[in-house]
Structure formats: structure tokens, C-alpha cells
Copies of this chain bind each other. A is one copy, B any other.
């Protein structure tokens, strides 16, 4: 097994200088094809792998990307990171995980981020739900340190590259689906209103109602906190309404709250979806296995992760090129164009409605959806 091989060993073995070995390592042009071949062969034979820390130091850039994430135990993060990991894994870059925010998503972590940047370990930062730290990250980016935000808290400051989900449309489609199934009294359990995403989903809900000419009933809208407990509580409040005002469907702002709503229904002997239809938002891994399986709005986290990694990589390569304009991109797949710092740096990913049993779709699919919307309460 190869022991502590360095570029110098390869140079000696191939009968060239370290500089030339370095050139083929970095895929520079202007190396004699025969020489290149020879060096490549020696490296292969010896199983040489360059010391990534040394290259970073010497080249003034690193092949490390940092990911700032809130708790890994939040269900969507692993899915997101799977996408990121897959893209990064196909490049010479490595991923460093900074799990911050774990306790308190509201806190400004500029101090920690600042430390991270100053160690110069990573040459780009991917920040997932940065919260109040978004501002600091934006400032970093404006000082040309590559940053990419994945967030849903409205517009990021200072044109920082940003990926989000189209929450409004997702909620709109979910609500419209319920309307098409014949529901007129559709309740909505909101997420915490301190999050922009809760407002976006609420707006989608309102838009669908309005489009169908259904007046908004304020009694059918309650605020939860994304967790099952409040889903249960809100649903119970709906069920306590006088019969003619009770909803026949509930659109919850998260799958967890939908679980709570289903549990509340079952406790009262209401059948889902026969007595009340339920739709969630998120498509947690477990939602397909609930009883009944939950209809929900899937957020494309895996795809977002991929997209985010691709974009960040492009920025990193671009900023590297700005410092060494002489050479062209290492791996073309990741360097889309010279104009990487131009739009689109703002991507809004589409959601998709996943129809399962909890909304009763199967039973109603055959009846035309344009039936005028009579009350279907039984």
C-alpha cells in the first residue's frame, strides 16, 4: 500500500519536475500529450492522490464546500442533503457539515459563520434556512464570497443567490383539488405566522377559494405551529363548530399538523376521508405510511439540493476564475457560462400534489369536477 506519496515522488518516477505534475493534476493545457500520459500512468500505478489541504493552501482556494444546516433531524434536511451530496460527490469537491441553529432557529449566527469563513477552509457556503443570519450571508456574498441560500422567508437581501419553493402555488393546487372534489367548506390550519411560508400557503389557499367563488370563512382558518399537537387542537376547534359551519375538508400547512387533524377526527369517530378529507404539506417520508395515506404537497427537496449544489459550485468556480482568469473551467458540467453571476440567481422550485387516500380522491375522481359545488356534507 502506497505510503505518503507526494507530487515529488511522482515527478521523480516520471522523470519530470513537480511543476509539470502539478500541471497535469490541474488539467492545464500546454502539456505534451506524451508527458501527460506518462505522468498519469505513474500516478495511477502508485495510487497517488494529491493532498487537498496543500493544494488549497498553495492555490489560495480550497476544494471544500460548507453546508450550514439546522437540525438534521428536521425531516426535509436529509432529503436536501442527499441531493447536495450527490452533486458534490461527482466533483473533486468535498462537503463540510456545519450543523448550527440546532436549538434556536431564530438566532443570528453571524459570529459562527464569520469564524467559518475566516478559517478559509471552505470556498463557498450553502445555507439552509439561515433565518436572521441571512443578512450576514448576503454581505459575505456581496464581498464576493460564494454563498447560496435555501430559504422560504421572502426575498433575500442584496441579490444573494437563493432557492425556494413556490409555496403559494402548492397551497393553491392542494385547495383547488379539494374544491374539484366537491368541497365548499375547506378549513386551513396555518403554520406559525412568523414564517413567511405560512403566509404564502395561506395566500394560495385564499386564491383557490376566490377563484371558485367560495367566500372565505375566518372561522375555518386557525394558526398552528407545524406540530401534530396543534393540528389536533385546530381540527377539534373546527369539529366543535355548529354542523352547518363545519368543514368537510381540512388543508393543513404541514404533514405533521395533518397527522394531528386525522387523529382528532378518529377520536371523534369521524372517518377520513369519508367524513372529512385531509391534505397536508411537505410529504414527509412517513406520510405514505399513515392510515389513511396522506394526500399532500410534495416539496422537491432532493432536486433543490441538487440545484443548490450546482449553483454554488458554479459560483465557486467563477470566483476562482476571477482570481486566475488564465485557465478555463475544470469541469464543464458545472461551469455553465461566463455569466454565472447573472440571473437566474433566484430559483423558485415547483411543488407537486401527491394524491393519496386521505382526500378521498379515488372515490370522487369519476364525477366531473365542474359540478357547481353543492354542499357535500353528509
Q: A residues near B, CB below 8 A?
A: 1-2, 5, 47-54, 56-57, 62, 64, 67, 71-73, 75, 77-79, 81-82, 85-86, 89, 94-99, 102, 114-115, 118-121, 143, 228, 256, 259-260, 262-263, 266, 284-286, 289-291
The answer to whether A256 and B289 have CB atoms under 8 Å apart is yes
Q: In the bound complex, what is the Cα–Cα distance between A118 and B3 (angstroms)?
A: 9
The answer to whether A73 and B78 have CB atoms under 8 Å apart is yes
Q: In the bound complex, what is the Cα–Cα distance between A96 and B50 (angstroms)?
A: 17
Residues A262 and B285 in contact in the complex (CB < 8 Å), given A2-B118, A82-B99, A121-B94: no
What's the least CB distance linking A271 to chain B, in Å? 12
Residues A96 and B99 in contact in the complex (CB < 8 Å), given A57-B54, A119-B52, A120-B51: no
What's the least CB distance linking A273 to chain B, in Å? 15
The answer to whether B94 and A99 have CB atoms under 8 Å apart is no
Residues A52 and B120 in contact in the complex (CB < 8 Å), given A72-B78, A72-B85, A286-B284: yes
Residues A72 and B62 in contact in the complex (CB < 8 Å), given A49-B115, A49-B118, A96-B94: no
Q: In the bound complex, what is the Cα–Cα distance between A25 and B113 (angstroms)?
A: 20
Q: In the bound complex, what is the Cα–Cα distance between A40 and B102 (angstroms)?
A: 29
- Chain B residues lying within 8 Å of A64, measured Cβ to Cβ, are 96
- Chain B residues lying within 8 Å of A89, measured Cβ to Cβ, are 99
Q: In the bound complex, what is the Cα–Cα distance between A86 and B97 (angstroms)?
A: 12
Q: In the bound complex, what is the Cα–Cα distance between A178 and B64 (angstroms)?
A: 51
The answer to whether A49 and B119 have CB atoms under 8 Å apart is yes
The answer to whether A53 and B120 have CB atoms under 8 Å apart is yes
Residues A81 and B72 in contact in the complex (CB < 8 Å), given A47-B114, A51-B119, A52-B120: yes
Listed by A's residue number, 10 A-B pairs whose Cβ atoms lie within 8 Å are A48-B118, A49-B115, A53-B56, A64-B96, A71-B78, A86-B102, A228-B289, A262-B291, A266-B291, A291-B291
Residues A285 and B96 in contact in the complex (CB < 8 Å), given A57-B53, A118-B47: no
**12 extra interface residue pairs, beta carbon distance < 8 Å, beyond A71-B78, A73-B82, A81-B97:** A2-B118, A48-B118, A51-B57, A52-B121, A53-B53, A57-B57, A72-B79, A72-B81, A73-B78, A95-B96, A96-B96, A263-B289
What's the least CB distance linking A125 to chain B, in Å? 13
Q: In the bound complex, what is the Cα–Cα distance between A354 and B54 (angstroms)?
A: 50
- Chain B residues lying within 8 Å of A82, measured Cβ to Cβ, are 71-73, 99, 102
What's the least CB distance linking A346 to chain B, in Å? 26
- Chain B residues lying within 8 Å of A99, measured Cβ to Cβ, are 81-82, 85, 89
- Chain B residues lying within 8 Å of A49, measured Cβ to Cβ, are 115, 118-119
- Chain B residues lying within 8 Å of A290, measured Cβ to Cβ, are 290-291
What's the least CB distance linking A307 to chain B, in Å? 17
- Chain B residues lying within 8 Å of A291, measured Cβ to Cβ, are 262-263, 266, 290-291
Q: In the bound complex, what is the Cα–Cα distance between A48 and B115 (angstroms)?
A: 9
The list of the 6 closest CB pairs from A to B, nearest first, reads A286-B286, A49-B118, A72-B78, A85-B99, A53-B53, A52-B119
Residue of B nearest to A260 (CB): B289
Residues A77 and B75 in contact in the complex (CB < 8 Å), given A52-B120, A53-B121, A119-B52: no
- Chain B residues lying within 8 Å of A86, measured Cβ to Cβ, are 102
What's the least CB distance linking A184 to chain B, in Å? 28
The answer to whether A95 and B97 have CB atoms under 8 Å apart is yes
- Chain B residues lying within 8 Å of A48, measured Cβ to Cβ, are 118
